[in-house]
Each structure stands twice: as C-alpha cells, then as structure tokens.
Chains A and B, each alone.
Chain A
Amino acid sequence: MKKLEDFGTVFTSDVLVIGGGMAGLPAAISAKERGADVLLVDKAYVGLAGQSPRGGNGMMALPKEADIEKYVAYITEYTGKYLNDQDALRNYAKNIYPTIVKLKEWGVDLTTDANGDLAFFDNPVGAWSQIGINLYATDNMRKTAEKKGVRIQNHTNMVALIKTDDRVTGAVGYDILDGSFYIFKAKTVVLACGACNFRAARMFTNSGEGNTMALNAGAQMRNGEFVFMEVAASATGETIHGCQRYVYNKNGENIWDKYVHYDAQDVSGELILGIINEYKLGNEPIYMNLDEMNDAFKVINASDEYIDGKRRVFPDKVSWMKRIVARENEVFGGLGRKIPAKFTLHGNAGFIRVDQQFRTTVPGLYAVGLDTGNGSAITGAAPQPAGQRGGPFMYCTTTGRIGGTNAAAEALDMKAIPDAAADTVEALKTRFFSYLDNKDGVDPREIITKIQDAALPIDVTIRKNETTLKEALEKILEIKEEMKNMKAKDFHDLKLCHEAETMITSCEIMIRSSLMRKESRSFHFREEYPETNNKEWLKWVIAEKKNGEIVTFTEDIPIQNYKYQPTV
C-alpha cells in the first residue's frame, strides 16, 4: 500500500496558507490568532515576497467614523457598475477599519497623529480616505507571524491542490533550490497567490498560481473578462502612479477631462479607452505633465514625506524611491516633468469566486487577496479593487484577515484530516516534474514571451471584438500544445515552466470570459457591442473546468435583492 510519505516530505497543519504577501500574512496571523496551527508557504521569502514590498505608498482606508453606505453606493455605481456582490462589498467595507487597527497591532507602520492615534488623509474625491503605510509592511508582519508561532516554508513553489473526495485536503509543491517534493496536509487551505500579471508591468510578477490551482481543483471563476490597466512611462515600462489626471494629447487636451465624466480618483476603463481613442485620432504623443498636478492630489501621489505634520511616506519608501530615481537618471537622464506615456496591462487578474466568508466553491478551499480581486465581485466590473489609489493593499489585508479567520474556524471544527490518495500524489509528482526529463524541448522563457504576444495586445485585453478574441484564443491553444514540450534544466526553470502554465490558464479564462460578455462595461469594451446593457447583462460570467476544458456560462446577479439598482 502506497503512502504519501513515499513521494516526499509530508507537512501537516490545521490551515495551509499559500502565498506570503500582503494577503497571505494577514490570513496566516489571523488564523493563528483564532487558535489554529498554521503553515505559510511562499515560492520566494516571506516578508519580502510578493508585490507589496515594491509599492508601499499609501493605502485606501475607511476611518472609524466613515460613512460605509456612501462608500458602498459609490463603488457600486461608478467603479463596479452594478456587477458587484453588494452584500460582500458592504461586509468588506465594515471590516476595513478593524483591519487597520490590526495592522498597527501587528507592527506595521501607519500614519499616526501627535498622540500616536491612527490618522487619515482626506481624498479630493471619492467616499474614502488614505493612510500612509511603510514599504516593508509584510516584513513587519512576518516577524509578528513568527513570534506568534506561524510556521513558514520558503522557496517552495506550489503546483496543485489535493483532494479527498470533494474536499481540498492539502497541496503539493517543491523546493526551488533542491527539488525536494513536499506534500502539505491541511484541514483548510487558503490561496493568497496575488493573481496574474503576465509579467507585463515591471515589478508586478505574480503569475496566476491561485487561479490555476483553484480551477484545477474544480472551483468556479468569476468576472474574468475584466483586467486592470495603468498609465505608464513609455521609457521605463513603469507605472507612474497617481498621474492619471494629468495625461494630455499632442494638442494639450487633458484626456481625463475629455473622457471621464464622473468624480473619479484613479485609473478607470474610460481613461484607458480614451487614450486608445486618441491613438485612433492620431493625437499622439500622449504624455503626462507633472507640473499640472495640484496640491490636493499630492495626498494620493505623496511626493512629500509629511502632509499637515502627518507622516505620509515612510523612510524605507523614501530611500528606495531615491535609489530608483538615481538609477533612472544614470541610465537615461530621468523621466523629467513631461513624460511620454502609454499604458500597460497591470493584470492583477484574480478570478477565484468566493463568498463573503472567502470560501471558494470547493469545500475546504478559501481564497483571499488579489486572487479574488475579480472573483469576489466586491469591486464588480473593475478588476482588483480599482478606482481607489492603494485599494489593493486594503483589499489584501482585509480579505486576508476575514478569510484566514474563517478558514481557522472551520479547521478547528473538524476532527481528523482524511488523506488524499497516494496514487494521485504520485501522478502529480510525475506530471509536474516531467519537464526535467526534456532535454531538447522549448525554453519556458520563449513560451512566456509567446503568451505575452498573444494575451497583451489591447485588442485582447480591453478594446476587443470577436475576431481578435478568437484569434488570440487560437494562439493560446497552439501555445498550450507547444508547452507540453517545455524543458527545465533545473528547478528554477521548472518553476518558470509552471508559471507559464498558470499564466496561460489565466489568459484562457480572460479570453473565454471576454467572448461571453456581449456588451461593454468598465475595463471590458466590445467593439460590436459598445453600449452598457443593463437589461440583458446584469450577469456574472462564470468559468470552470469541465472534462479538462475551460467552459463559461452566465449567472443572473440577484440585483433585486440588493440595495442599489441601475436607473437605465
């Protein structure tokens, strides 16, 4: 009789958290605080892994006295455009302030006043506030997690969830340094892998492991047709955060004023589609003019360390920004004040469908953070928590805290961990290590470039039509065939092979969902159906795997049960 131990080292915990960034750490700490034994796994090093230690600017926030309902109404009407799960959005909003309090307790540096109390910055627009947060917030949380007894397993790339009957009972992965195979048994599993960015925008490196592991375990995906874009400097490929209001065409017309007709704070579908329209009108070059920025927007752009005597930008961030700017100056003389601009796919495509408790549609499996940025429907038709500067930070920490707590509660109610079948684990090990046997195959880097070529053109990601989408899908399916012959010369390359797999899966969900939605809304524009159609399309596009294929269907949004309904 085969045992799990025959195929690798077996780890056991109540809760397994996959991904140790801005969502995984709050999930792990919260689960531990709830009383569970917690194991946290990351392919890099927890504390500096993930995207947030390359951000660390400001965080969207709701102070204690904030008008929650005003926020819910705004996000539903303007950002989510009625594709929100309004109940989940309200529950999320209520949990924001308690999460900020927790972050402070967990050792994260946040803006405080002279008395040491949490202090917030008002926004020029929107129904929410901002709070400053330090760059290495996740490293603060790592220390807290270790102190509280969360076990951490680094440089471990997770490849698949394992199930006993219909329930997820763990996951498998391998050490990217020495190739040791690991089997993790857990009563509940929390995915916190930070969604998929297709390695498009610089420094946004997550590649869709959560989407893929959940899909392969039978979980549903939701809102896959929406992916987030950002305005970026043409020269560096780097997003210039917070400059969306100061984008101009060659005639000096402000693009935002021309196309965004509501009181918005951050990048929206209207802005990006507006820039594309300017391309079509021949109004290039498009550029950002930093000299036009007004004082009110400095709150969210944070060029000053202090605003009104309150620390807006923390020293770790200041030090890092100085280094980046110095290097830019050294290499090409810096960006200057008038910056030629394009936009880039930011991705943050996290499709995993979750309910208010952050349970997926598969028993035993939870997902939090950007992995659910689309799938939770909290922000509706805006992928990731768009429209709010620093929104993803808040989203990750708050959803991590809720999901981690619930995963622990469920695990503590369960008695024994039923083992997954050893045969299944053996088959997974064979399948995921098979690229190591290929000596003459194709380099995964080449495959990733091909995926980018197929998935990143603007007529696939935002301004789409049936022809461009079908062509892209055809390319993707061809690459999928070619990928079977990838080669890995070591375990680092093996990780790249698996990242290529998770990227292409995320890409296929995006394209198939886009084909399904025959209307335009937010970041999804269909040239044949340019209007928003509230009569027929107050629906979610759901994707799931059936007989090895990704299939899509629609589900009516229970709009009659929600507080806010569109007037047209």
Chain B
Amino acid sequence: MVRVENITVDEEKCVGCKQCVRSCPVDVLRFDEKKKKAYAAYATECEWCLICEEHCPVGALHVQPKIPTPVFEYLR
C-alpha cells in the first residue's frame, strides 16, 4: 500500500501553522511541539492527494509519489 517515495518539509520555510496536519485524512503529518514545525511522521501511508501542499501557505511541503501504484497487483 505504499504510494509515495518520500515527503519533505522545508524547516526553513515552515511557519508552524499546522494547516498541513489538519488537511491530512490519514494522520501522516504531525507537529513537532519542540521545533514548532510539521513533519511526516508516517510517510508510508500517504496517498499523495497533495491537499497538504495546497494548504501550506509558504510552499514548504513536497510529496514525491511512487509510481506505479502497487495495489494493481491485486486486480489479476
């Protein structure tokens, strides 16, 4: 079920607004209370819907998809 290569959060850019954390339906992104930055805590469950990127006001997030999607092995 792994659909992404990696997720990066540019800590220089991240303003700690948590919008990306709120936008993730599968709890991939979490907030580091010490650093006050978002981070990808459970990247392997990401579905690259990219809604987190859409909600980041400073473009600090980048999701790199993994292609092809392995779930298609189940179809035959």
Contact = CB atoms under 8 A, between A and B. Distances in A.
B1 A445 contact: yes
Given A44-B25, A234-B68, A448-B1, A320 B75 contact: no
A456 B71 contact: yes
B74 A237 contact: no
Contacts of B1: 199, 445, 448-449, 452
A342 B75 contact: yes
B69 A236 contact: yes
Given A53-B23, A202-B47, 12 more contacts: A44-B25, A45-B21, A53-B25, A54-B49, A199-B1, A201-B71, A235-B69, A237-B71, A327-B50, A344-B71, A448-B1, A452-B1
Contacts of A234: 68, 72
Interface of A: 43-45, 47-51, 53-54, 155, 176-177, 199-203, 205, 234-238, 279, 316, 319-320, 323-324, 327-328, 331-332, 342-345, 445, 448-449, 452-453, 456-458, 492, 495-496
28 contacts: A43-B27, A44-B25, A45-B21, A48-B55, A51-B25, A54-B25, A176-B27, A177-B30, A200-B71, A202-B49, A202-B69, A205-B25, A235-B69, A237-B71, A319-B54, A320-B50, A323-B53, A323-B54, A327-B50, A328-B65, A332-B67, A343-B75, A445-B1, A445-B44, A445-B45, A452-B71, A456-B74, A492-B27
A323 B59 CA distance: 12
Interface string B1-38: 10100000000000000000111111100100000000
B3 A344 contact: no
Contacts of A237: 3, 68-69, 71-72
Given A54-B51, A324-B50, A45 B65 contact: no
A316 B1 CA distance: 28
A234 B73 CA distance: 10
Contacts of A47: 22
A449 B63 CA distance: 22
A279 B21 CA distance: 42
A237 B3 CA distance: 9
A331 B51 CA distance: 18
Nearest to B1: A199
Contacts of B39: none
A-B pairs with lowest CB-CB distance, top 7: A237-B69, A456-B74, A45-B22, A48-B23, A54-B49, A44-B25, A203-B49
Contacts of A445: 1, 44-45
A320 B54 contact: yes
Nearest to B62: A327
A255 to B, nearest CB: 16
A327 to B, nearest CB: 6
Contacts of B58: none
Contact of A495 (B27, B30, B47, B64): B27
Nearest to B68: A235
A342 B68 CA distance: 13
A323 B63 CA distance: 11
A238 B63 CA distance: 16
B31 to A, nearest CB: 9
A215 to B, nearest CB: 23
A396 to B, nearest CB: 15
A456 B75 contact: yes
A48 B45 CA distance: 17
B48 A344 contact: no
Contacts of B3: 202, 237
A203 B45 CA distance: 11
Contacts of A43: 27
A44 B20 CA distance: 12
Q: Which of B24, B30, B44, B50 has the most chain A CB atoms closer than 10 A to its own CB?
A: B50
B26 to A, nearest CB: 5
